[in-house]
Amino acid sequence: MMISLLLLIGMASAADEPASAQPLLHILQEDGELNRLARQQRRTAEQVRRLGGVFKRLELRATQEGDLNRATHLAEARLRLEQAQETGDLAQALDGIAQELTAQRPGVAAEQQAIALAALRDLLDFLIREETRQQAQDALEKAQEHAESLAELAKEQKELLHETQSQIAKDAPPELAKEDVQQLAEAQKELADRIQESENDSEKMAGEKAAEAADALLENNLEKAEGKQQEALDELEDAAKEAAAEADAHQKEMERQELLDVAKASAEFLARHEVVREMMVEMAQKSNALTRRERMSLREGSEGEFAIEKEAKALMFQIADSGSALFPFLIKTLRQDHKRLAQQLAPPSHEVSDSSLSLAAALSERWENIIDAFLTEADRKRPKAESPEGEGDGEPPESPLVQFSVEVELLKRMQIELTEQMANAKPDDWKWLLERQRELRQTFEDMIQALQEDEAKEDDA
């Protein structure tokens, strides 16, 4: 799939810069090169359509197989493909480029080409991230399976050790215990063979000890067998702990990378919003009526805010499995407020008022807060080996309350913002403000309930 995108981008970039160079245009038109590029664009558009179909089929298959996480990410990929351009379907955009090239209008086609190329590159970046995420997920599952397998082997070895100790305690004559010890030796040999299948040195050592225990049992040397079984058990338990720690490290690194990805995407949304906000501040300082150019700028700002509202939906997919009740609520409210600001800036009102400026500033502050929270949480999940020298020495491990305290602080800031909005609200605003207050209270109650459930699980453990 990723190779297909690379080919698409290679084809899409074929006419990128040369098409805008006037001396070359003349040569291209004379040689019929534009017609060739037009055919390329049509083929590219068809490949994009097929790619969308592939995403849909893979998403359906993942859903049928019960892999909801993969289905969610495939749905996001398909959504990105469908929304790759502000006007909608990327394939339609590429078709349009082909028509412009066929009509010998390379200047217009070059502009459309740049937009389509950027969209394709954005989709490729997403697919690369998804492939990396899937590789990390596969590594995590492999580590977890390995840890579980070692724990099971250790459990079996412990049971065989107890049986050997039971035989020693019986102190029965050798001829009477011979059959029981023979069965025990066979079970020990079978376990040793399974342990020795591993390529890990420590596990091979455990396998050797287990095999020596089997030989000792065949010789009816129960005391020696007991010692070797204990050594094998110790090796297996140590290996199981190491494997569990490795799986935990994989899990934390996946979570950390996910947080960094969300923080990066959030920072990009903030940067785009800041361009609109700065334009609004500049226009608010003018006393004259808006010029035609300024109205056009506000319209573009409105479209930019609508685009942020639409694209931020992808963040909902990324944080769906975070276990946090707050982050999805924050993204939801951000999207709602970007849409509200977009409507205020849109024609015919082109509103640049104290209310819209306050909303724009609140959006910036909220994005900054959520980015800071994601980065703080990502740093908390950083392996201790990467921490600055001396950091954390002698300190107890961090509890889930660290994350909870960060979320409570975010919720507190949002409540302050909401209280200020209510103090200056217009009659038309009360409905959505009261609804948000209700959702905020419900989110806090959900956070408390989740914390209590986590504490109960820890107590049970």
210, 229 contact by CB (below 8 A): yes
Query: Tell me, what DSSP letter sits at residue 323?
Result: -
Which positions ≥6 away from 330 have C-beta within 8 Å?
366, 370, 410, 414
Residue 12's pLDDT is 43
Q: How many CB atoms lie within 10 A of CB 285?
A: 7
Give the pair of three-digit tokens for residue 327: 């982050």
Report pLDDT digits (tens) over 316-362.
777 766 667 788 888 999 999 999 999 999 988 888 888 899 999 99
List the one residue out of 175, 176, 178, 167 whose CA is nearest residue 224. 167
Is-cis flag, bond preceding 396, omega within 30? no
How many angstroms separate the Cα of 219 from the Cα of each of 15, 38, 88, 163, 177?
80, 83, 78, 16, 12
Query: Which residues, given as ranges, of the chain have pLDDT below 70?
Result: 1-55, 58, 67, 69-70, 73-74, 76-133, 172-177, 320-323, 384-402, 458-461
CA angle 214, 218, 224 (to 5 degrees): 65
DSSP string, 104-131: T-HHHHHHHHHHHHHHHHHHHHHHHHHH
268, 239 contact by CB (below 8 A): no
Q: How many CB atoms lie within 10 A of CB 416?
A: 10
Residue 303's pLDDT is 93
Give the pair of three-digit tokens for residue 227: 């010692």
Report pLDDT digits (tens) over 62-93.
777 776 766 776 676 666 666 654 444 555 55
Residue 82's pLDDT is 62
Helix (H) or strand (E) holding 209: helix 201-218
Report the alpha-carbon distance of residue 160 to residue 194 in Å, rounded. 14
| Architecture (CATH level 2) of domain 247-384+397-461 | Up-down Bundle (1.20)
Print the SS3 string covering 263-317: HHHHHHHHHHHHHHHHHHHHHHCCCCCCCHHHHHHHHHHHHHHHHHHHHCHHHHH
Radius of gyration from C-alpha coordinates of the chain: 32
